[in-house]
Amino acid sequence: MHPPTPRPLTLLLNVAHALDHLFLLIFATAVAAIALEFGFTRWEDLMPYGVGAFVMFGLGSLPAGRLGDLWGRRRMMLVFFFGIGMASLLVALTQDAWQMAVALTLLGTFSAIYHPVGIPMLVQRAKNPGATIGVNGLAGNLGIAAAALVTGFLVQWQGWRAAFVVPGLVSIACGLVFMRVAPRETEPPAARARKAGADLPAPLLARVFAVMTAAAASGGLLFNMTTNGNVQLLTERMRGIVEDPATLGMLLAAVYAVSSVAQVVVGRLIDRVPLKRLYLTIALAQVPLLLLAAQAQGWWLYAALIGVMVLVFGAIPFTDAMIVRYVDDRMRSRVAGMRLTVSIGISSMAVWLLGPAVKAAGFGTLMLALAGVALLTSAIVSWLPGDAAVARARAAAAGATAGAD
């Protein structure tokens, strides 16, 4: 038996998740201030320049996952901390929209490392992986809350460039600490001789992979559309009630902080409740709240937004839980990388579509479309094999292996 992951290392891996999501949302949070400085009359016209970060967040996951298994997860996490920190400092130096597009794309490339590398590193020795994933999800969502809160204050205090500089320096500092506390790997995960995780028959594994990828793509579209658009949605729907950017940032941070608790609750439930039933319930519950958010104004919109984000965040742990439950640890980073490349590559289009969609049709129509996306996610999840079917397939595979011996 291997000893559990040291607490300082667990803490840093969770902080890394928070930083990952924070960096990806700084641009969306500060886009109005950046647009003003770069000479854009509307923030919607600048928003498509940030799509490169989210495209690379998906495409970069494939080589990142492969390197995590074959080269080492500790090394890749060091590349993450230092790379994303330096890229953020580079964004702060940009002088026009195209320079920013290039710098954000580089930032997205380094941000792609965390999910296929950091999460498998965190859960490889976990006794209760669902709970571990839930806490890690809480950390990631607190990063989203910090993006809303910290970016709003930094933009108001020192300008949008400070909103990239401060987190960049924090990431570099975390990398220096990680270098000291993370034990060196004696061998990369792919070189281990011993399996670490129950095998699933190939046809059923392919089905699970297809479901997790498709559901993550549709769920990721919903996640990206909401988290990247919530600042402007609140600004529009709270006009005349709350208009101070810092106060709006605090309100949105509160939404994310409350919603983040859902990750911990769902993580614990995953260890106790059939995964398919739980996932399907959360996906279906998103629909009526999105329909309400499409029409609501003022504080009613704020209440609906809390409900929407609780369920959107609550759906996040499922794909990582499926990888832990069905995939051997020696190849988890590669499987996660492949899944992320496809799903995030598709859902990243949300960033490119957000500005033009809101400009053309408004937030009401956007929320109606997202309700349809939630229904699509539910349909995809319904194809996931249940726990009983998985147990029967594993028993049949074990019996066939024993018979061959």
Average pLDDT over residues 12-19: 95
Q: How many CA atoms lie within 13 A of 134 on its CB side?
A: 17
Tens digit of each residue's pLDDT (9 = 90 or more) over 368-393: 989 998 999 999 999 888 777 777 76
pLDDT beyond 70 at 85: yes
**How far is residue 224's CA from residue 219's CA, in Å, rounded to a whole number?**
9
Residue-level pLDDT at 399: 60
Q: CA 66 to CA 339: how far, in whole Å?
A: 12
| HSE-CB of 226 using CA atoms within 13 angstroms | 35
The reply to whether 2 falls in a domain is no
Distance CA 75, CA 297 (A): 48
Of 121, 118, 304, the closest CA to residue 226 belongs to 304
What pLDDT digit, counting tens, does each position of 222-264 carry?
888 887 788 888 888 888 888 787 788 888 888 888 888 888 8
Q: Return the pLDDT at 35.
A: 92
Q: In this structure, is residue 359 part of a structural domain? A: yes
8-12, 163-167, 222-226, 348-352: least confident range: 348-352
Give yes or no for a contact between 148 and 231, defined as CB atoms under 8 angstroms apart: yes
Number of domains, the chain: 1
Q: Mean pLDDT throughout 169-178?
A: 97
394 located within any domain: yes
Task: Give me the pLDDT at residue 1, please.
Answer: 47
The confidence score (pLDDT) of residue 2 equals 58
3-class secondary structure per residue, 105-148: HHHHHHHCCHHHHHHHHHHCCCCCHHHHHHHHHHHHHHHHHHHH
User: Looking at the domain assignment, is residue 221 inside a domain?
Assistant: yes
- The answer to whether residue 1 is domain-embedded is no
Average pLDDT across the chain, whole number: 85
Q: What pLDDT was estimated at residue 274?
A: 87
Q: Provide φ and ψ at 95, rounded to 5°.
A: -120, -10
pLDDT for the residue 59: 86
Q: What is the CATH number of the domain that holds 232?
A: 1.20.1250.20
What are the tens digits of pLDDT across the range 280-329?
Answer: 999 999 999 999 999 998 899 999 999 999 999 888 888 888 888 777 77
pTM of full prediction above 0.85: no
> What pLDDT was estimated at residue 245?
76
Residue 92 scores a pLDDT above 90: yes
Between residues 82 and 53, the one the model is more confident about: 82
For residue 165, give the amino acid letter: V
Residue 3 has pLDDT above 80, yes or no: no
For residue 33, pLDDT beyond 70: yes
Q: Is the pLDDT of residue 191 over 90?
A: no
DSSP alpha helix (H) spans, 199-348: 202-237, 245-270, 275-295, 298-314, 317-326, 332-347
- Enter the tokens of residue 280: 């399907």
Q: Indicate whether 334 pLDDT > 80.
A: yes
Contact 111, 47 (CB under 8 A): no
Each residue of 35-80: pLDDT tens digit? 999 988 888 788 888 888 888 888 898 899 889 888 889 999 999 9
- Is the CB of residue 363 less than 8 Å from the CB of residue 237? yes
Calculate mean pLDDT across residues 209-223: 84
- How far is residue 137's CA from residue 129's CA, in Å, rounded to a whole number? 12
Contacts of 275 (CB under 8 A, 6+ apart): 318, 321, 322, 325, 384, 387
Q: Which domain holds residue 256?
A: 7-404
Residue 71 placed within a domain:
yes
CB 119 within 8 A of CB 206: no
Is residue 149 situated within a structural domain?
Answer: yes
From the list 333, 309, 308, 330, the residue with the least C-alpha distance to 320 is: 333
H or E element in which residue 168 lies: helix 160-181
255-268 confidence digits (pLDDT tens): 888 888 888 898 88
Quick: pLDDT tens for 94-145.
999 999 999 999 999 999 999 999 999 998 877 788 888 888 888 887 887 7
